[in-house]
Amino acid sequence: MELLKQRIMKDGLVKAGNVLKVDSFLNHQMDIALFSEIGKEFYRRFMDCDVTKILTIEASGIGIACVTAQFFHVPVVFAKKSQSKNIDGEVFTSRVESFTHGRVYDIIVSKKFLGPDDRVLIIDDFLAKGSALEGLCKLVQDSGAELVGAGIVIEKGFQEGGKLIRGHGVRVESLAIIDRMDDVTGEIFFRP
């Protein structure tokens, strides 16, 4: 998605440790006009999939998921990050390792909001090592819902997440895939 790539080039900051900072337009301050174009593009790619629900993970996926949901006219469910050791039986749960914070946490979704009648589109801001997306896929699988695919805003193609999740047979659509970035020069190279 050209508009997104241009924005990443203009305002994205490459940090040490393979981290791309996009907090001026994507995951801290949010450019809603851009979100709207992102939502339209996800809709264009998944409009024929009879999506009944969009699933994301707190916090940074929520804004993009909500704007996207306006094009699909479906509810958004976000997985909550939970510290709690004794999670009751009323939730689907899985374990996620945070790329940016380097710790492990549980994510939960109430059984009230995902079930066998659902056709789920997962939306998230980044795909890096794939742990967040894998955790979300497991929640969908456990609920008996059909996973139609995952829409990712920025995939870091030089990390293993894309290969891992596509290897499970999941359709992953990323709007910008970065093949290489350099924290010394600040250069970002996209997959054509």
For residues 145 and 153, which CB has a smaller minimum distance to ligand 5GP in the complex? 153
Long-range contacts of 71-75 (CB under 8 A, 24+ apart): 71/39, 71/40, 71/42, 71/43, 72/43, 72/46, 72/47, 72/121, 75/113
Per-position DSSP letters for 57-97, written without gaps between them: ETTHHHHHHHHHHHHHT--EEEEEEE--SS--TTEEEEEEE
- Closest contact distance (angstroms) between CB of 21 and ligand 5GP is 6
Contact code string over 151-190 relative to ligand 5GP, x by CB under 6 A: ----------x-----------------------------
> Can residue 19 be called a binding residue for ligand 5GP (CB under 6 A)?
yes
CB 77 within 8 A of CB 109: yes
- Closest contact distance (angstroms) between CB of 174 and ligand 5GP is 11
Contacts of 179 (CB under 8 A, 6+ apart): 157, 158, 189, 190, 191
For residues 23 and 117, which CB has a smaller minimum distance to ligand 5GP in the complex? 23
Contact code string over 115-144 relative to ligand 5GP, x by CB under 6 A: ---------xxxxxxxxxx-----------
- Closest contact distance (angstroms) between CB of 3 and ligand 5GP is 19
> Can residue 63 be called a binding residue for ligand 5GP (CB under 6 A)?
no
- Catalog residues that contact ligand 5GP under the rule CB under 6 A: 19-22, 27, 60, 99-100, 124-133, 161
